[in-house]
Structure 1
Amino acid sequence: MEHSLSPLLSNLQRLWFFVCLKALISNLIARYSKKQRPKLPPGPKPWLMLGNLPEMLTKKPAHQWIHNLMKEMNTEIACIRLGNTYVIPVTCPTIARQFLGEHDATFASRSLTTCTDLVSSGYLTTILVPFGDQWKKMKKILTSALLSSEKHLWLHDRRTEEADNLMFYVYNKSKTVNNGVAGLVNIRSVARHYCGNVIRKIVFNKRYFGKGRKDGGPSFEEEEHVDSIFVLLRYLYAFSISDYISCLRKLDLDGHQKNVKEALKVIKKYHDPIVEERLKQWNDTPKIDEHDWLDILISLKDANNNPLLTLEEINAQIVEIMIATVDNPSNAFEWALAEMINQPNLLERAIEELDSVVGKERLVQESDIPKLKYVKACAREAFRLHPMAPFNPPHVSMSGTTVGNYFIPKGSHVILSRRDLGRNPKVWKEPLKFKPERHLKSDNGSNVVLTEPNLRFISFSTGRRGCPGVSLGTTMTVMLFARLLHGFTWTAPSNVSKVNLCESNDGLNLAEPLMAVAKPRLQPQLYHL
């Protein structure tokens, strides 16, 4: 009996030895890895399960809490745990360039949020979509089919129509009395609706959803449309508790989902009938000439000559295009004009350049843009000092990696601070002062461009997730600046000694829409369509 048990005991002893040896080796490897692996970026101590969500919820707005926290900790990169998600804010251009340069491939994905899911119809678009086949497909369509230099030239006349209409509308406003003041113009409204007109003309080949207005301004339909787009922009990447505690998503505790659904309902009310009618035209007619981006999206074919895009993809991508084009140019001009009214010498210098390049016998054209260095410097300065959003869309790490001597875990949300990159005192002298001339001595020699690949501020970002619409965005921005600065003199209302440059409580836009008095400075016939 003892003889028969001895082989079994011997095997058990060997098994136990190997189990212990494996545990010892695993423990040594874990200790060594932990010792060698860099630490997480500095950050506040998280609560169990909740992370730093209690602080985020009690110290709103979240972007101010994050920036104040980083200032208190004297750090340009931090780690804030929200639920089980590591959020990594960055305010240093050098570290930002590591994320979007050396490690760009690792951080090429996007976060999944309740609002981005709704707006992208389940991640069918480009900007909001995580890294993968769908993103690659849609990005290729955007860059090659819609935003190529050939298509940009093709749509030149559409953009010019809206620049002409902008002049016509503001000229009419300058001849009317608003709130007892002659020539009083709501700059925020004018700038946003110019951007809305341009992108509607490019996508749908129409300015108005309804009958429009004889003075060139927006009617109820266009106002409702643009207002709804800005609602989406407000909530897309807002810090929502539902995005960090998954079991709370259906509860919509902060109301973000409700607001986004209502805004999408308005937008789809105007978009969907146009798309469906156009799709029917393409299906019923053998050959249709392309007139706009909608035609292009419908006409795209795959290798088997079947439609490349579904109706859902077309509708979702159009919504995303609208979101991507209306905010930055309009916000930049409103802020820039407010700053320039308070510093009249800046307005004078911009007008001198415009009169020198363009003269006063014609309107600014897109062909003038390369020569308008100071006007572009004003736009760059607005992007630097007064970005539309506190942070750029999150870049999600697809694997754990080391950046700036810190370990960034897989799944971390890296958010570059648009606000503090542009206001970093280590990079910019007098960072809080609006000084367009600082951009005339650019890295590009005598050329002034609106892009900033060194991430000293963010305009179009860079890397795989950089904006592919640089040409369109630049053209819209510079034409908005140039046409309105060239065509009108701008002053504050007589009862206002200085424009109030306070930011809103929950964002970075002006606390109140800029109201300025416009007076035409060119020949009357130039303003008429």
Structure 2
Amino acid sequence: MALPLLILSIFTIFVAYKLFQRLRFKLPPGPRPLPVVGNLYDLKPVLVRCFTEWSQLYGPIFSVYLGSHLNVVVNSTALAKEVLKDNDQQLANRNRTRQIAKFSKNGMDLIWSDYGPHYVKVRKLCTLELFSMKRLEGLKPIREDEVTAMVESIFKDCIEPENKGKALVLREYLGMMAFLHITRLTFGKRFMDSNGVIDEQGQELKGILNNGIKLGTKKSFAEFLPWFRFLFKAENEALAEHDARADKFTKKIMKEHTLARQKTGNTKNHFVDALLTLQKEYDLGEDTVIGLLWDMISAGMDTTTITVEWAMAEMVRNPRVQQKLQEELDHVVGRDRLMTEADIPKLPYLQCVTKECFRMHPPTPLMLPHKANTNVKIGGYDIPKGATVSVNVWAIARDPAVWKDPLEFRPERFQEEDVDMKGTDYRLLPFGSGRRICPGAQLAIYLVSSMLGHMLHHFTWTPPAGVKPEDMDMMEQPGTVTYMKAPLQAVPTPRLPAELFKRVAVGNV
């Protein structure tokens, strides 16, 4: 009898609370929630497409309940401005699920911390120290090293006799490049030798990352139904084990760097040395240092791979754009030397292609969730304290009231009108805006532009044999970040002299 009574009590409390909310607040419209589970039953796997469809049914702002938690989704530039500028401070907190709370040391990092003194301090550290223009310039050799290493790897594989004319799975190359680049920036180590073999520490790191992805993509009802978390003991233990494994790895790296500095007195440009050197000045606890290091890994790895894979898919689907970009590269760079980051300001069409990709395929299409720290009004509706607000930048990018021919991949639109993508123009928000804008936006722009430029300068890309460009699968994979559901396969044809496909290696920076 106890269990039915418990369920009945929960049901009664839920109904009473929802009735109270509806009487007290004017909430945005939305699909009718069921008791306890809310709208979980009605969600489609690719949330951003589901929410975009609902915006056409319920309007540019609507409510959706994940379990008993209220989420408000905004789908227009005007409402995005209300969230990210007009009510920025009131909506600057984060909604941390049980899993995220574990990974972020309960918000002691930057990405998942609530807005307050801790966030302001850590944000200042990232802006003035980790992502300063001086440091980004100092780390440029690592970026160019890893981009050219990727190009060399693609070249070696595509000229193998058995691979002639065959398609390569680009995600394998992009993912390895992103892994090596961000781990060098973060931990100051290239976990791969000259023969392409990943060392023991690198294997352990890859194991931690793969396990994190596995845990992250395995959505648990315990996240949305907190009353039943006691039923998910195995998942709780898996989270604790993963957290301990990541901590052990990170502390070992930190100890190595501390000992190295004590011996030589030298510091490097990478993030672990910077954080350990600045730890006392900024009063950073060990959890914050570890949390920040993993922020860099999580924010810098998937997003780079995702963005460039989508961009290359668009290049394969749009040979006109690919040819036009190659003509610009040949005119500015020529075919007798490598492109460098110094060339990017002189390559306006490359910059437009990068912007168009971020417009159509933002790596976090719902942005990261904002949480109301007080009652606030958006679009004339009440957003109660504690509710989550998501900005659907994917829908904004496909809004015909904002963009002409929004479903067409047309970089020329950014030659016709200069649109900023660092948070001041609410039509294009790949990095967010306001207090929670991504501090690593410039690094991401440098890296994506460089990777695209090299891939198109070195190779011409075509679909696999028998596949028409218009038949390519352009569906997203479910998740907070949107990989292509079907990994991109494309055929590379070298277009530069063979001696230009060698890696430009640098040592520790």
Same fold by TM (over 0.5)? yes
- Contact in 1 for aligned 2:279/2:285 (Cα 8 Å): no
* CA-to-aligned-CA distance 1:257-294 (integer Å, 9 cap, x gap): 67766765775575443222223334x44823334221
SS at match of 1:87: strand
2:381 is equivalent to residue 409 of structure 1: no
Change over 3 Å in CA distance of 1:220–1:488 after alignment to 2: farther
- The residue that corresponds to 1:502 in the other structure is 474
- The residue that corresponds to 2:193 in the other structure is 212
Change over 3 Å in CA distance of 1:187–1:266 after alignment to 2: farther
2:219 is equivalent to residue 247 of structure 1: no
2:72 is equivalent to residue 88 of structure 1: yes
Q: Which moved more, 1:397-406 or 1:323-332?
A: 323-332
* CA-to-aligned-CA distance 1:153-174 (integer Å, 9 cap, x gap): 2212222222222222222122
SS at match of 1:79: strand
User: Which segments of 5 or more consecutive residues in structure 1 lack a partner in the other structure?
Assistant: 1-33
SS at match of 1:78: strand
* CA-to-aligned-CA distance 1:276-334 (integer Å, 9 cap, x gap): 2223334x44823334221111111436xxx8333332222111111111222321221
2:327 is equivalent to residue 347 of structure 1: no
Change over 3 Å in CA distance of 1:355–1:493 after alignment to 2: same
User: Which segments of 5 or more consecutive residues in structure 2 lack a partner in the other structure?
Assistant: 1-21, 504-509
2:175 is equivalent to residue 192 of structure 1: yes
Equivalent residue runs for 1:91-110 within 5 Å: 91-110=75-94
Equivalent residue runs for 1:372-411 within 5 Å: 372-411=347-386
Change over 3 Å in CA distance of 1:428–1:232 after alignment to 2: farther
CA distance in 2, matches of 1:319, 1:514: 27
CA distance in 2, matches of 1:256, 1:157: 42
* CA-to-aligned-CA distance 1:97-129 (integer Å, 9 cap, x gap): 111011111111101211211211222200111
Offset of 1:362 from its aligned partner? 1.2
CA distance in 2, matches of 1:261, 1:61: 28
Equivalent residue runs for 1:141-156 within 5 Å: 141-156=125-140
- Contact in 2 for aligned 1:390/1:419 (Cα 8 Å): yes
- Contact in 2 for aligned 1:339/1:501 (Cα 8 Å): no
- The residue that corresponds to 1:455 in the other structure is 426
What is the letter of the counterpart of residue 193 of structure 2?
Answer: G
SS at match of 2:390: strand
CA distance in 2, matches of 1:443, 1:88: 31
- The residue that corresponds to 2:272 in the other structure is 294
- The residue that corresponds to 2:57 in the other structure is 72
CA distance in 1, matches of 2:194, 2:244: 24
Equivalent residue runs for 1:112-191 within 5 Å: 112-176=96-160, 181-182=164-165, 184-191=167-174
CA distance in 2, matches of 1:194, 1:371: 25
In structure 2, which of residues 482, 487, 509 is the aligned counterpart of residue 513 of structure 1? 487
SS at match of 2:389: strand
- Contact in 2 for aligned 1:163/1:480 (Cα 8 Å): yes
2:446 is equivalent to residue 465 of structure 1: no
Identity of aligned residues (%): 27
Change over 3 Å in CA distance of 1:495–1:213 after alignment to 2: farther
2:252 is equivalent to residue 273 of structure 1: yes
* CA-to-aligned-CA distance 1:50-103 (integer Å, 9 cap, x gap): 4334434xx545444433333222x11101233442200111111011110111
- In the alignment of these two chains, the number of paired residues is 480
In structure 2, which of residues 28, 38, 62 is the aligned counterpart of residue 41 of structure 1? 28
Change over 3 Å in CA distance of 1:398–1:369 after alignment to 2: same
2:42 is equivalent to residue 55 of structure 1: yes
- Contact in 2 for aligned 1:192/1:330 (Cα 8 Å): yes
CA distance in 1, matches of 2:62, 2:129: 39
Equivalent residue runs for 1:276-355 within 5 Å: 276-282=255-261, 284-285=262-263, 287-302=265-280, 308-355=283-330
2:356 is equivalent to residue 367 of structure 1: no
What is the letter of the counterpart of residue 522 of structure 1?
Answer: L
TM-score by length of 1: 0.82
Offset of 1:466 from its aligned partner? 0.3
Whose Rg is larger? Answer: 1
- The residue that corresponds to 1:17 in the other structure is none
* CA-to-aligned-CA distance 1:433-485 (integer Å, 9 cap, x gap): 221212222335xxxx6435322233111100001112211111101101111
- Contact in 1 for aligned 2:39/2:67 (Cα 8 Å): yes
In structure 1, which of residues 489, 492, 497 is the aligned counterpart of residue 463 of structure 2? 492
- Contact in 2 for aligned 1:175/1:183 (Cα 8 Å): no
CA distance in 2, matches of 1:406, 1:231: 40
What is the letter of the counterpart of residue 122 of structure 1?
Answer: N
CA distance in 2, matches of 1:294, 1:250: 37
- Contact in 2 for aligned 1:92/1:421 (Cα 8 Å): yes
- Contact in 2 for aligned 1:114/1:257 (Cα 8 Å): no
* CA-to-aligned-CA distance 1:206-239 (integer Å, 9 cap, x gap): 222xx5352x586897577458547646866987
Offset of 1:137 from its aligned partner? 2.3
2:497 is equivalent to residue 523 of structure 1: yes
CA distance in 1, matches of 2:101, 2:290: 14
Q: Which moved more, 1:512-521 or 1:98-107?
A: 512-521
SS at match of 2:65: strand
- Contact in 2 for aligned 1:213/1:219 (Cα 8 Å): no
CA distance in 1, matches of 2:243, 2:489: 29
SS at match of 1:526: helix
CA distance in 2, matches of 1:218, 1:109: 39
What is the letter of the counterpart of residue 363 of structure 1?
Answer: L
CA distance in 2, matches of 1:398, 1:301: 29
- Contact in 1 for aligned 2:368/2:390 (Cα 8 Å): yes
CA distance in 1, matches of 2:245, 2:407: 38
Q: Which moved more, 1:100-109 or 1:165-174?
A: 165-174
What is the letter of the counterpart of residue 287 of structure 1?
Answer: G
- Contact in 2 for aligned 1:422/1:456 (Cα 8 Å): yes
- Contact in 2 for aligned 1:115/1:237 (Cα 8 Å): no
CA distance in 2, matches of 1:286, 1:335: 44
Higher RCO (CA 8 Å, separation ≥ 6 residues): 2
CA distance in 1, matches of 2:40, 2:341: 48
